[in-house]
Structures are given as C-alpha cells and as structure tokens.
A and B are shown apart, each in its own frame.
Chain A
Amino acid sequence: MNVVETSGLTKRFGDRVAVKDVDLRVPRGSAFGYLGPNGAGKTTLIRMLLGLTKATSGEMRLLGRPVPAERAAALARVGAIVEEPRFHGHLTGRENLSVIAAAREPEAHARIDGALARVGLAQRADDRVKSYSLGMRQRLGVARSLLADPELLILDEPTNGLDPAGIQEFRHMIRGFVDEGRTVLLSSHLLDEVEKICDQVAIVDRGQVVVQGSIAELAADGKQTILVATGDNEQAFRILGEHRAIQSMAPENGAFRIALHSDVEAEAAAGDISRRLVLGGVAIRRFEPTRVSLEQRFLEITSRLEESA
C-alpha cells in the first residue's frame, strides 16, 4: 500500500509552474527520498500534501485518505518538519511540544516525555528554545512530529545546517523510524544523504518527477563502468576495441574507463573482458567494476533534461 499518492498534482504561482503533473507513489514502510536541486519544487509539493498551500490541480491521498477532503483525519497520523523547524522562543522545549500536543489528540500530551527522550533533549526540555542550537531545534522538531505517533514522517531538508556528527545522528534516527514500521518521506537536494538514508527515491527537476523507484533499480539503470589499468593500455584498447559489451573507452589518469552498454549483464561482461586481456598477454594492474552511484545517475538524468530544454 502507498502512504502517499498523488496524481497530476500541479501548483502554479502566476505564470510560473512550481510543481507540474506530479504522480508520486510512496510505499508504506520505506524511507523515500524526494530528491532534486534547489528550486525544483520539493517544498511546494510537501506544503500541498500538508495543506499549507492549495494545489492548483490534481489529486492527493495521504495514508489512503483523500486530501484536502479528509485532511484532518489523514494528518492525525502524520508528523512533519517543513523547512527549518520553528518554535516560540520564549517557551521551553517542553512547553512548545505541549502547545502542539494541544492541537492533536488528547494522548499526544502523554507522548511528550518519550519524544524528548528519544531525540536526546530530556535534560534541556525545560530551557527556553531561544537558547537552543540549530541542531537541538532540529531534534525538537523531530520530537514534535513524534507527538502524532506518526505512520508517516515528512521531513523537508532535515539535515540543513547540521554538523557532520548531527547529520550522522539524524540518519540513524530516520532509519530507526523506518525499522519501527513508519514511513519516512525525506526531501533533499543532497544526493549522498538520500542514497545513505533512503531505499526508494523520486528524482524531481523543474517541478516534474523525472524518475522514481528503488535506489538500486535507478542506479542499475545507469551506465556500468570498469576502471582498468594495464601494462600496455594501447594493446588493451586493440584487444577490447571490438567487444560487443563495451560502449566506449576513455583514458583516465594513466588507466582507462570502460563504459558498458546498459543492456549487458555487468558481471559477465567484466569477467569476459578480464579473460580476453589475460589471453591477449596484457598484464592487469587494476580492474575496478564501478556501480553507478545515485549521484552519477542524478547528474545523467538532469543533464539530459538540460540538453533537451
């Protein structure tokens, strides 16, 4: 079952289209990355899902419920951080959570202590939020979103401004939520972050979802390459020049990189290439089949779009 489903979702600001015909499917129990460069319309889509701004056209379902028609019931089990989490600085962390708990179901108040402990803020809960660091505010934002006992967590650029240790801590926290059976929809412009946290991804550019699926599938759809260094690169070029699995070969720092055709089985091709080199009397010093990272795939996709624009 999908916890988020959109169909033809569009948002216009005057003549500018911020989100265009987005069909999104977020499977339950996944960490789903909504990945795109700044200004791609990620936050606008999240704001529409949460009822912070109206969609120009299209349909949305959250946790199986149509929104905005059943928005209140749908959002009752959704926790969210949109952009930078904001608080009343003159209230303590606990009081801020209490304010939000008042807007949720009565049981939310009983979750405050647990949520604060979960994000490691129990000791500072009674300090005013204006004395909190950015990292503490981010964690308090997560605690706030846990008051809903959420089936779905929507986190918009949650690691912005965090130091490396904070980012790592955040990643563990998010994976922990997924392990508990919650779904996390994470928007980010940081490819590395999405690749490390998420198992599903949608790549968005200029308001449109370009591709979506599991990260393994997306990366597999991209070019497979092999970095090869030999005792005689010219001889190696001659031997491999006619190989059917090879799309191209290019020198790279004293070695050369082989790009395989996308329809070949990469492991078998790599085995055959190394066998031919050895049979051809070429000494292999380095042989590194490379799985295309999401970052490379992302750049492939977005650069194609730029070329076609």
Chain B
Amino acid sequence: MNPRLANAEFLKLRKRRGLVAAVSAVTILPMVVAYVVLLVLHANDPGKHGPAGGLENFMPSIDILTTLTILAAVLIGATLGTGDLTAGVFRELVVTGRSRLSLFTARIPAGLAVLLAPVAVAFGITAAASRAFAGSLEAPSSTVLAQSGAWLALMAGVSMVIALGVSSLFSSRGTSIGILLGWQLGVMPVLLAIGSLGSFREGLFYAAADRLQPAALADGPTQVPMAVATAVVVLVAWTVIPLAFGAWRTQTRDA
C-alpha cells in the first residue's frame, strides 16, 4: 500500500463537499436529532417517557446507526470506485506507469478514513448520550460500548469494501448504488426472513453479521444459527470476492 497514493485518494474524497455533507448528515444528524427528541419527551413527561439514555435506548440507536452507516458506506464506496473513471482521470493515472492494482488498493484506506470519521462521531454522540442521560436506567458498560463500536466499524468497513468492489466492476456510480442499496436494504433482509431457504441463508452477509453482533445489542436469538467461524468466513468472503472482481476489472479495462 502506497501512503502517497492513499493520501491522494483521501484528498479526492474529502474535497467532495456534497458527499462529505451527505455522509455526515445521514450518520451524525439522526443521532443528534434522536437524542434531542428523547430528551425533550422525557423533560415534558417523565412519567410517560423514560430517560433518553441507557442501554434500552442505546440498542435501537446502534441498530439505526448501523443501517445509516451501510448507506454512507455505499455512497463512499461507489464514489471511490467510479470517481476517477467518471472524471476521465483514470487513464491519466495509468499513464504514470503506476500499477493499476496499487491505484485500486489505495482507495481502501482513503474510503475507510472518510467513512469512519463521521461514523465515529455519530457513535461517540450515541455512546455519550446513552451514558449521560441514563438516569434510572442501566447505562451501557464500557465493554458493551467497545464491542458495539468495533462491530459498527466492521459493518462500515465491509460495506464500504463491497461497494468499492461492485462499483469498480460496474463502473457506474448510480447503477452500483441502486444495486447495493437494493441488495443490502431490500433483498437480503427478505431472503433472511424466508426460513425455508435453510442453511443457504448462512451465506448472506447479514446472517453472518447478525451472528457476530455483540450479545448486548441482540434483541433475541440470531435469525440464522451458525458457528462463529462460519460467520467469519462468510464476512471475509463478502469482503474479498467483490474486491477481487473490482481489482480484476480495474486491471483489465481499457483506460
């Protein structure tokens, strides 16, 4: 991994003000709004509405943040995978003689940096609010917070990498975002819910993610029972296979 190339990718991404604003808006803003609303409700009617914080509110907040993080990851990954092509700069980079594989891999740390910064802020707000406003409720422990943060980062990273690979393969930002959101937020949850698919569901990204979710965040038994090792293998496969396709397409396309 070439740090200068990764820095250049980071520059290209962070200078996209619209994207950075959108990613911040879908991750940080909802958490701020959610806790402000919970605080106002509790302040107005403490009998009817419990404290805004606590583990009780932390769990659904993290669920929502996870979904929003996936959305942000898709936006960033798809932009990373198609930005140079769309601008026509890919050929200018190829002309430098730098290997196409190194151009491709440099996108990964840049994408993670741009994605994880607002996700970390959003998570920090959620964690701080859940403890600060716990009141009479049980506050999430440091262990729960650490596990939740790591799990959120894992979901963010895997989703971003999938989006990078898929968009590099299809070379179209709009198409890739449509496919990824449709799959991640539409098709996959439906497939997970179809019990008759049996063990085939073990191959789904969400099933594996569900298995690896911290126990404190789980609101019941996992939808698709499987061994932890299987879940890890499935997540690794979901990371590596799209990346491999994206790298292959980057290597072989006419620039």
Contacts and interface: CB of A to CB of B under 8 A. Distances in A.
Interface stretch (A87-95, A224-232, A279-287): A87-95
A95 B99 contact: no
Interface in A81-139: 82, 84-91, 95-96, 98-100, 102-104, 106
A51 B94 contact: yes
Contacts, number: 81
Contacts of A47: 254-255
B187 interface: no
A82 B87 contact: no
Contacts of B175: none
A41 B87 CA distance: 24
Interface residues on A, range: 20 to 34
B11 A103 contact: no
Given A88-B89, A102-B5, A103-B8, A53 B254 contact: yes
B28 interface: no
Contacts of A95: 11, 15
Nearest to B100: A51
Nearest to B3: A102
Interface in A126-183: 144, 148
A52 B85 CA distance: 13
Contact of B96 (A53, A98, A148): A148
B197 interface: no
B97 A76 contact: yes
Contacts of B16: 90
Contact of B98 (A52, A72, A96): A72
A86 B4 contact: no
Given A52-B255, A91-B11, A95-B15, A82 B89 contact: no
A50 interface: yes
Contacts of B165: none
Given A88-B87, A91-B12, A102-B5, 20 more contacts: A51-B95, A51-B255, A53-B255, A71-B97, A72-B97, A73-B97, A74-B97, A75-B96, A78-B95, A84-B88, A87-B87, A88-B15, A88-B89, A90-B15, A91-B11, A96-B89, A103-B8, A103-B98, A104-B98, A148-B96
14 contacts: A51-B255, A53-B254, A71-B97, A72-B99, A82-B95, A86-B91, A86-B92, A87-B87, A88-B15, A95-B11, A99-B93, A102-B4, A102-B5, A103-B96
The 4 A-B residue pairs with the shortest CB-CB distance, nearest first, are: A86-B88, A75-B97, A102-B8, A72-B97
